[in-house]
Amino acid sequence: MLARIQTVTTDLSATYKLGEAIAKSLRGDEVFALVAPLGGGKTSFTQGLAKGLNAKGRVLSPTFVLERIYDVPKKEYALHHFDMYRIGANEVESTGLLDILGEGIVVIEWAEKIKKYLPQDTIWVEIKYKGEDSREFIFNFPESRSYVFTHLK
Residue 79 maps to a domain: yes
89 pLDDT higher than 80: no
Rg (CA), the chain: 14
| Interacting residues of 57 by C-beta distance below 8 A, sequence separation 6+ | 50, 68, 70, 71
pLDDT given at position 90: 76
pLDDT given at position 104: 94
pLDDT > 70 fraction of the chain, expressed in percent and rounded: 98
Residue 152 maps to a domain: no
- Rounded to whole angstroms, how far apart are CA atoms 147 and 22? 9
- Residue 137 near residue 44, CB atoms below 8 Å: no
CA pseudo-torsion sign 36, 37, 41, 43: positive
pLDDT given at position 1: 74
- Could you tell me how far CA 121 lies from the centroid of its own chain? 13
pTM: 0.93
Residue 68 maps to a domain: yes
DSSP letters, 84-152, are -TT--GGGGGGGSHHHHTTSSEEEEETGGGGGGGS-TT-EEEEEEE-SSS-EEEEEEEEGGGGGGGTT-
Domain harbouring 81, CATH code: 3.40.50.300
Phi, psi of 51 (to 5 degrees): -65, -45
Which whole number is the average pLDDT over 91-117? Answer: 89
Residue 153 maps to a domain: no
- Residue 95 near residue 113, CB atoms below 8 Å: no
pLDDT tens figures, 35-86: 998 888 999 999 999 999 999 888 888 776 788 899 899 888 999 999 998 8
Which whole number is the average pLDDT over 102-109? Answer: 93
Mean pLDDT of all residues in the chain? 91
Residue 88 maps to a domain: yes
Residue 60 maps to a domain: yes
The range of the structural domain enclosing residue 117 comes to 2-144
Tally the domains of the chain.
1
pLDDT tens figures, 107-128: 999 999 999 999 999 999 999 9
Residue 30 maps to a domain: yes
Residue 149 maps to a domain: no
DSSP letters, 70-89, are EE-TTSS-EEEEEE-TT--G
